[in-house]
Amino acid sequence: MMALKTSHGLRGRLLRHEPMSRHTSWRVGGPADSLYIPADLDDLVAFLKQLPANEPLHWVGLGSNLLVRDGGVRGTVVMTSGALNGLSLLSESMVRAEAGVASAKVARYSTDHHLTGAEFLAGIPGTIGGALAMNAGAFGGETWNIVHAVETLDRHGELRVHLAADYEVGYRHVAGPAGEWFVAARFRLLPDERRQGKALIKSLLAKRGATQPTQLPNAGSVFKNPPNYHAARLIEAAGLKGAREGGASVSDMHANFIVNQNGATAADIERLIARVQAEVHKKSGVQLEPEVRVMGEEAV
């Protein structure tokens, strides 16, 4: 670990050749050339303003919903988790959360302030930045259903605010202004007049614990649900529960989860993803589309 040159006026931490396996929920991934953990949003703005224009730039939150290949990542990775952690009440019905805040923390914060509508975020194992980027959902709720506005940052360090209407949003799909990354969201919620939010979160987490392999390294749901189908049911119908490639296996508890059972590599997981796709297509004719993002290069 080393600090960036103080002449740049930066307060964050720069890690060279940092194994991404330390920063992903699957616990796999080769080294990033550089990984920067900003001190806060102002520090991130300053960092981007001094970054060379041709430097490849990647963004990572808690590293869930992400597969980093064994050959690592060229360029610079910005880690928002533990850095962009601002969480505040803007009004009686508006919560602002920065991109590095865990989604579950926003759910709890909202109920603590007697607001409802964000409880489903407790079931999303990632950060607000990732939830915004893919319109993450759980238990019937989707992130952009409660977004009022977002704050973004481009690679030149310019901050902007956009209304939710500026984005095209669908199932695990978000499209908006190019070359900008989410750094915060403003969520419009409703009064929890019956004070049922905490009980709802408790029940959702109990359901998650009973149906998902939370005790083993995983990245959440691997595949999107195709129209009129459930990915997990298609995978199970293809006889793939427990299927293995190296140290990676399809969870016996939930077939849309691939777990790192025994020292898996990213290549093991990627092979298993491809095998599941091929066998489900052969069995049902349905082509499963991954919702996990793949980053980096294969090992040489």
195 burial level (CB within 10 Å; 0-12, 13-18, 19+): exposed
pLDDT of residue 194: 84
The pLDDT > 90 percentage for the chain reads 90
pLDDT of residue 1: 35
What tokens appear for 266 in the block?
A: 């990213």
Band the pLDDT of 292: cuts 50, 70, 90.
very high
Band the pLDDT of 62: cuts 50, 70, 90.
very high
Whether residue 176 has pLDDT greater than 60: yes
pTM recorded for the entire structure: 0.91
pLDDT digits (tens, 9 = 90+) for 206-246: 988 899 999 999 999 999 999 999 999 999 999 999 999 99
**Residue 184: what are its φ and ψ, rounded to 5°?**
-165, 160
Q: What angle do CA 6, 7, 13 make, to 5 degrees?
A: 30
* Catalytic center residues: 172, 221, 291
Block residue for tokens 């605010």: 161
pLDDT digits (tens, 9 = 90+) for 258-286: 999 999 999 999 999 999 999 999 999 99
> CA torsion 281→283→284→290, rounded to 10°?
-40
Q: What is the average pLDDT across 139-159?
A: 96
All domains in the chain, ordered by first residue: 2-79 (3.30.43.10), 87-209 (3.30.465.10), 214-295 (3.90.78.10)
Band the pLDDT of 9: cuts 50, 70, 90.
confident
Mean of the per-residue pLDDT values of the chain: 94
pLDDT of residue 103: 96
272, HSE (Cβ side, Cα atoms, 13 Å): 29
Band the pLDDT of 288: cuts 50, 70, 90.
very high
Band the pLDDT of 7: cuts 50, 70, 90.
very low
Least confidently predicted of 4-18, 171-185, 194-208, 253-267: 4-18
The pLDDT > 70 percentage for the chain reads 97
CB 297 within 8 A of CB 73: yes
CB 143 within 8 A of CB 135: yes
| Amino acid identity at 133 | A
CB 213 within 8 A of CB 251: yes
